[in-house]
Amino acid sequence: MTLIIRALFLFLCISFSSSVFAEVNISDAWVRSTIPGQKVGAAYMTLTSPEDSKLFYVETAQAGSVEIHSMTMNNGVMKMRMLDELPLKAKQPEKLAPGGFHLMLFELKTPLKAGEQVTFTLCFKDKNNKITHQQVTAPIRDPN
């Protein structure tokens, strides 16, 4: 059932894409490698939108789900929380990096091995709620 809902949602992203909405520049994308048996992974990248917009949905065939997360440290305690969307200010790069905003990959289907790649579909909304989607392929690498 979840797969059907995700497929329908992605179809809607594609169907209602705006041809007017300028693409978000996606750069420096990479995925942290995992060890066998690890079911959660993380991905990072820099997003630069030509206009105010929001990243609101991400998916990949290599994970059951992908969530947008923030991470902060408060008095030595790490706090991570899921975000419904990540606001992007016009022409201001938003860096998804270890220790800050990032993408969490849940229910990994296979280990993420350095040297391989992961393809993501990212869905964005502009200030008029017009939806566009973009694909990015990110290399998997060891964190060091």
pLDDT digits (tens, 9 = 90+) for 48-66: 999 999 999 999 999 999 9
* pLDDT the model gives residue 16: 47
Contact in structure between 136 and 48 (CB atoms under 8 Å): no
Cα–Cα distance for residue pair 31/139, rounded to 1 Å: 6
Q: Which residues contact 4 (CB under 8 A, 6 or more apart)?
A: none
Contact in structure between 121 and 133 (CB atoms under 8 Å): yes
Report residue 2's pLDDT band, with 50, 70 and 90 as the boundaries: low
Residue 12: pLDDT over 70: no
Nearest to 32 by CA among 41, 40, 45, 23: 41
Per the structure, the count of domains in the chain is: 1
* pLDDT the model gives residue 7: 53
Residue 88: pLDDT over 90: yes
Least confident of 46-55, 69-78, 80-89, 129-138: 69-78
* pLDDT the model gives residue 51: 96
Q: Which residues span the domain enclosing 16? A: 2-141
Residue 25: pLDDT over 60: yes
Greater pLDDT, 120 or 7 = 120
CATH number of 113's domain: 2.60.40.1890
Average pLDDT, the chain: 89
Contact in structure between 64 and 106 (CB atoms under 8 Å): yes
pTM above 0.95, yes or no: no
Structure tokens at 133: 């989607």
Q: What is the DSSP letter of 22?
A: P
